[in-house]
A and B are shown apart, each in its own frame.
Chain A
Amino acid sequence: MFACLHIPDASPEATAKLAELAHCFTPSVELTAPGTVVFSLQGLHRLFGPPHQIAAEIARRGAERGLRARLAIASTPDVAMLAAAHYPGVTVVPRGQEPAWLEEIPLECVPMPPEIRETLERWGLKRLGDLAALPPAGLAERLGEEAVRLHDLALGRLCRPLRLAPPPTSYAERLELDGPLNEREPLVFLLAEMLREICRRLTADGRAAGGITLSLRLENGARHTRVLELPVPQTQVKPLVKLLELDLEAHPPPEAVTTVELSLAPAAPRTLQGGLFLPPSPEPEKLQITLARVVAWAGPDAAGSPELLNTHRPDAFRMRPGLPAKNGPRQPAAAVRLALRFYRPPLPARVRMDGAQPRHLRARGVGGEILEAAGPWRSSGDWWDAARWSRDEWDVALDCGGVFRIFRDLETHTWFVEGVYD
């Protein structure tokens, strides 16, 4: 059996609501036209009983959603659709009585090619009953195969498979707790269950999670929201639970939790070309958990992959949260170059000058006579910004050993030790 829900001149929102109502009963739903949804009722008799009880249940759920739609139940999708378009309210067409229910339906309601419609009008046919009375062989001779299909439709014998519409998927879950929850462990347990359900939907749709949004409503009415961006899309529940647990460990909710809302941002699954002779790489899920663990211990920006910024500002970089998925060309190793080790933040220093040359350096843990000095190398930038910088840099070798980079801030006229060459 099939059911058809129909709202004349329906808006796209109303059609979406009709589809949502149909998906409550079955995944076999066809969006036939704007305002018309046909769906299968196969197996529903075990749940709700005979067709009129199924119709009553559909009508009840439709009323709950504020839908005022026509409903028809019939043995074929097209009969259900025609009955819903023609008869107001709820219509149940008993099996075997289709021609009797269809004979009153005007031919204008039946979709057909315009040339056939014109011919049938010229013959004086007004209703489906008139068409059903004609001999099928004569119709086929004069109007072709399409006319035979219309004749079968008029007799209620035409059955076709539904063109299924995918159900509207939501990758979010909401859970209202019986009482306020203070502890992290039971909360993580609940989150794991919610994640399992959402990941099942994601996997069924061939998608992966690109990000997690966790919104906790607290006892005092406030919201505690955490957004986690995943550098590598994932579908496995275990790493996602661990990431959420580590994030909650680093950023616990200030009050007891009353409602949990969790949503995953769908993303295309990770694709990586493997190879027998490719060097091994860390498992993204494991690496993400490791980095999240370090971030939970040491704070944000403590772990990730550095990216140099396009500026002349010294020590300008930003941390990316994880390793970018890379399977591209390799960068050749350059010749050996002298490395600099930074002091972060730079060490405030006292420098004694001899004319234009620095002669003595003293800072925390660093100090001595300057044997050699190269500089000053002047640089400045971002003068339009509060974060402007302007400085004179020197490379100095001390008598106690060590070659350092020092600089004088031209804004504050103070000296700093920036790093040591090593």
Chain B
Amino acid sequence: MPSAVRASLLSPACTKACQEFLPTGILLLDQALNGLPRGAVTELTGAASCGKTTLLLAVLAQATARGEFVAVVDTQDAFDPASAARCGVDLDRLVWIRCGGRAELAMKATDLLVHGGGFGVVGLDLAGVSLRTLHRIPLSWWWRFRRAVENTPTILVILSEQAQATSCASCCMEFQPATARWCGKKPFRLLRALDSKILVRKPRLLHVPLEAPLL
């Protein structure tokens, strides 16, 4: 093989091009990013009611639709299996770890899951955990997770209100505060959807609108 060709095949650019992606089910996001990168950490951040959990469930549904097994490490015990089932997540392929508000347990459980391997998506839900607790998590954990999922088909999705993994994450999405869409006249109002905007910070800066209908 000519050395130039070998060099180009082994270059980081080629490795990036060969990277696999899992579609999110959100058309605009998939068109812009191809989906979430496999073998990498993705971070979804934003305040309450911004749509980050909706995106996580959409990704889980896409993974289970491909026959993959997924896991959710739920720090605050906030996961709703009924919402997941409505989004199309196959609950028979889902492992749910309920940590009862213990962030340390959530980190340990995530570590076991990502090192055990075999999952398409592992979601670490740190939303609702106090900032004081989050700041106590050593940065080495995130590097450890990044190393564990590298060269595997697993996507580690971290949900939190503030960015935690920072440089360890290959894909960072910040959710802008959402606006609720209502219909009907008062007093017979009905919540229809949440309209949000995703600011993708990594791998490249772009804005993607997100519409999450209730029904």
Q: Is the A/B pair a real complex?
A: yes
Task: Give the interface of A toward B (CB within 8 A).
Answer: 278-283, 286-287, 290-291, 293-294, 297-299, 301-308, 315, 317, 319, 323-324, 326, 330-344, 356-357, 372-374, 395, 397, 401-404, 419-422
Minimal beta-carbon separation of B138 from chain A (angstroms):
19
- B117/A333 in contact, CB under 8 A: no
Minimal beta-carbon separation of A378 from chain B (angstroms):
14
Interface of chain B, main secondary structure: mixed
Residues of chain B contacted by A372 (CB below 8 angstroms): 180, 182, 189, 191
Residues of chain B contacted by A323 (CB below 8 angstroms): 69, 92-93, 95
Among A401, A403, A422: residue with most chain B CB under 10 A: A422
- A401/B213 in contact, CB under 8 A: no
Taking A280-B117, A330-B67, A420-B49 as given, write out 10 further A-B residue pairs in contact, using a Cβ cutoff of 8 Å, ordered by the A residue number. Answer: A279-B68, A293-B112, A315-B82, A323-B92, A338-B51, A341-B79, A374-B184, A403-B178, A403-B194, A421-B214
Q: Within the complex, which residue of A280, A308, A335, A357 is in contact with B91, where a contact is CB–CB below 8 Å?
A: A308
Residues of chain A contacted by B96 (CB below 8 angstroms): 303-306, 319
* Interface members, chain B 76-107 (any A CB < 8 Å): 76-88, 90-100, 102, 105
> Interface size on B (CB < 8 Å)?
77
* Interface members, chain B 191-215 (any A CB < 8 Å): 191, 193-194, 211-215
Q: Within the complex, which residue of B52, B80, B88 is in contact with A340, where a contact is CB–CB below 8 Å?
A: B80
How many A-B residue pairs have C-beta atoms within 8 angstroms? Tell me: 213
Q: Within the complex, which residue of B92, B177, B180, B215 is in contact with A326, where a contact is CB–CB below 8 Å?
A: B92
Tell yes or no: B12 within 8 A of A by CB: no
Which among B57-65, B140-148, B165-173 touches the partner chain? B57-65
Residues of chain B contacted by A357 (CB below 8 angstroms): 186-187
If A280-B153, A283-B118, A297-B108 touch, does A331 touch B94 (CB 8 Å cutoff)?
no
- A308/B127 in contact, CB under 8 A: no
- B80/A403 in contact, CB under 8 A: no
* Interface members, chain B 26-80 (any A CB < 8 Å): 26, 47-58, 61-62, 64-69, 76-80
- B81/A306 in contact, CB under 8 A: yes
- A282/B112 in contact, CB under 8 A: no
Minimal beta-carbon separation of A101 from chain B (angstroms):
68
Q: Within the complex, which residue of A308, A317, A333, A419 is in contact with B88, where a contact is CB–CB below 8 Å?
A: A333
